[in-house]
Structure 1
Amino acid sequence: MSVTDVLQGHRVVPVVVLNDPASADDLGAALVAGGLPIAEATFRTPEAAQVLRRLAQRADLVVGAGTVISARQVDLAHEAGARFIVSPGLSAEVVRRCQALDLPVIPGVSTATEIIAALDLGLNTVKFFPAEACGGLPTVKALSAAFPQVRFVPTGGITAQNAPAYLAHPAVAAVGGSWMVAPDLLAAGKWDEVTARCAGLQGAAS
């Protein structure tokens, strides 16, 4: 399965940091209701694997694991039901473990050297991270000119305001962002607002 297969045409990936696994069902329902049935559950909290497992139980939601930095975390995510892996950097160990499990992986890169290393590992889709801190769309344009075979998933500083410009570039496969699943919304259980923000992305998200 390829990254394109996993994204299923959804060009905005909600990046989720959820501390309470009991809220995962409500979050999943809100994403689906908003027409954005995809999520990257980040491995930034002790509860991350539980959250991922709860989300992955939904047949109508494609869930991946983010902030994965070791082969052990790949195994934990895979066992919990992750359909794809996202890493903030490029780890050959992580990539090779994902490949052994036939699990699509999107490693983070910010330089031409890292892109070449990703190509050497047989990858052609990478996460551009942290996007805004590393020059934003102008850097994506420069890198894509040098590497026309590569597709980018910019993440880091992506907002509702700048996402459309990124998505308009042909080298951008998708963007990752958290504004529709902001931690304050999740902590307060404002699921209707999550749904509304997802619904507002329909022009860009598919």
Structure 2
Amino acid sequence: MSGLDFSRDKVIAIVRGVPPQHADDVASALLAGGVRLIEVTLDTPGALHTIERWRRTSLPLRVGAGTVLGVREARDALLAGAEYLISPHTDEAIIACGREAGVPVFPGALTPTEIVRAHHAGASAVKVFPVGSVGGPGYLKDVLAPLGHVPLVAVGGVNAGNARAYLDAGAVALGVGGSLVDPGLVRGGRWDDLTGRARALVAACALTPLEENA
């Protein structure tokens, strides 16, 4: 479906605004908590360099580019090695760019009309954003009643407390930002606390931490 194993990994950590000097610590903390999918938003300082560097490491990351707003950004991200592209909106040109490169694209949409448009354009899955502002898991469940054939990723207000509800409503995966990669934890270098948040999400999603799969 998407080129990513959502049957194993259901949390996409959204790394936004993390200073370059802390990026590797954030990745290590997330991995220690069992989160392998990391989206680096392109409005983050040094985002492309971070994506490129992480792709060269032996860390078991699947790193993608987020906040992809146009084809130029999509191409730059692909050149840096992004394994998937995520946008806050639906742009058919971005979807086509990713498909041509054989890379999954998750465009943002909110209404049924937008979701179907993104799906018909070739989206690997559709990012329902900001889902927490329009009814949360209940909204997702209602949308999926007639659109159950469309894979949906819930983004916006997702946290350890409601993660299971979104999955039970039918989301194939979850994009989690500030409730996971909290700016305060990053500024304070509180990597153990960040790992703890990742573990809580993994547990809420009934995933298996990395060390148990070793």
Q: 1:46–1:21: structure 2 CA closer, same or farther, 3 Å change rule? A: closer
2:88 is matched with which residue? 88
Amino acid at match of 1:11: K
Counterpart Cα distance in 1 of 2:6 and 2:56: 18
- Which residue in 2 is equivalent to 1:58? 57
Which runs of 5 or more structure 2 residues have no equivalent in the other structure?
208-214
Provide the TM-score with structure 2 as the length reference.
0.88
* Contact 2:3–2:103 (Cα < 8 Å) also in 1: no
Number of the residue aligned with 2:198: 198
Gaps of 5+ in 1: none
Task: Return 98-107 or 13-22, whichever deviates more.
Answer: 13-22
SS of aligned partner of 2:175: strand
Is the 1:6–1:62 contact (alpha carbons within 8 Å) kept by the matching residues of 2?
A: no
Give 1:127 deviation, angstroms.
Answer: 0.4
Aligned to 1:37: 36
Counterparts in 2 of 1:92-131, with a 5 A limit? 92-123=92-123, 125-131=125-131
In the TM superposition, what is the alpha-carbon distance from 1:205 to its structure 2 partner? Answer: 5.8
8 Å CA contact 1:36–1:205 kept in 2: the answer is: no
Task: Give 1:146's aligned residue.
Answer: 146
In 1, Cα distance between the equivalents of 2:196 and 2:69? 32
RMSD over equivalenced CA pairs, Å:
1.7
TM-aligned CA deviation for residue 201 of structure 1: 2.4
Which string of whole-angstrom CA distances, capped at 9 and with x for unpartnered residues, describes residues 107-151 of structure 1?
A: 111011112212321335210000111221221111101111012
Q: Deviations over 1:27-59 (max 9, x none)?
A: 121111111122111112342212322333333
How many residue pairs match? The answer is 204
